Amino acid sequence: MASSKTALILGATGATGKHLLRELLSSNEWSKVGEYGRRVTPETSLPENRSKLEQKTIDFENLDAAGLKDGRWDVVFVTLGTTRAKVGSAELFEKIDREYVVNACRAAKTDDLSHEQRVVYLSSGGANPSSPFLYTKSKGLTELALARLGYADTVVFRPGVLKGTQRDETRLAETIVGYVTGAMSHFTSSMEIHVPVLAKAIMKAGILGSSGLPSSVGAVKAGQEGASFTLIANKGAVILGEQK
């Protein structure tokens, strides 16, 4: 039986987002799926079952014109992000990685207090608002900022090294770490995760919400006063993504 839930995905053209979009379109849990972003998935790359897909190119510098709130989305999935190396400066990195994400989620939040919405954010392993490193600090600050927006439920994923990303650019640091964690993953599932598994886990969290997550996932409450969220680490994401 088809559900009437609606889902918005921000960042559907990224490494994880493209897999998540396919999961959302193939699931009967969603009656409408919105893909909003600076660019959207080309028609040639979309699956055949795309009748419930609504695509819209938006300007993150002019979100008032984007109509994000009009969709009355039940779940907002965020897989949007970048790297300093890709955009060229720390300032631009923080603008895209944090400001765009937080502002878009704020814009997607309905004014109807009776409509309980959920936001599911793909962060990063090691995310920490006090981190001395730009990338992990930005992710940690974004987590807290999203938790302060007032969504009924905020779920954050902190995966390990992503395997099978098929990114256009090579990320040397991830490649090196990948070899190391690849060997260690034979002993622990806390180090790496295959992107399709992560995408499945993210969608399931969007469906189940914090209160419906299996105890085996090991989700915990994190954040701070006035900015709490449910945190799923890499091991829990693997478990959730691989569950039938």
Quote the CA–CA distance of 123 and 130 in Å, as a whole number.
Answer: 15
Does the pLDDT at position 158 exceed 70?
yes
In the chain, the DSSP E strands lie at 5-10, 30-37, 53-57, 75-78, 118-122, 153-158, 161-163, 192-194, 220-224, 227-233
179 is catalytic: no
Residue 151 appears among annotated catalytic residues: no
Structure tokens at 162: 């992503």
pLDDT at 176 over 80: no
Nearest to 81 by CA among 33, 7, 138, 19: 138
Domains of the chain: 5-242 (3.40.50.720)
pLDDT tens for 106-139 read 999 999 989 999 999 999 999 999 999 999 999 9
- Candidates 112, 183, 193; CA nearest to 157 is 193
Query: Average pLDDT over the chain, rounded to whole?
Result: 89
Q: Residue 212 has what pLDDT?
A: 98
Residue 185, pLDDT score: 47
The Cα 144–Cα 133 span in angstroms is 17
Instruction: Order the strands of the 53-57 sheet from edge to edge.
Output: 53-57, 30-37, 5-10, 75-78, 118-122, 153-158, 227-233, 220-224
Whether residue 178 has pLDDT greater than 50: no
Say what the pLDDT of residue 82 is: 77
Please state, in angstroms and rounded to a whole number, the distance separating the CA atoms of residues 143 and 128.
9
From the list 137, 139, 163, 200, the catalytic residue is: 139
pLDDT for the residue 181:
46
Out of 171-175, 187-191, 195-199, give the one with best mean pLDDT: 195-199
Give 155's strand partners: 120, 230
Q: How confident is the model at residue 174 (pLDDT cuts 50, 70, 90)?
A: very low
Instruction: List the catalytic residue out of 135, 137, 200, 204.
Output: 135
CB 216 within 8 Å of CB 242 = no
Q: What is the pLDDT of residue 110?
A: 94
Q: Would the CA dihedral through 131, 209, 31, 112 be positive or negative?
A: negative
Phi then psi for 55, rounded to 5 degrees? -105, 140
Which of these, 127, 142, 129, 128, lies nearest to 78 by C-alpha position? 142
Residue 232 contacts residue 154 (beta carbons within 8 Å): no
Question: Residue 171's pLDDT band (boundaries 50, 70, 90)?
Answer: very low
Residue 2 has pLDDT above 60, yes or no: no
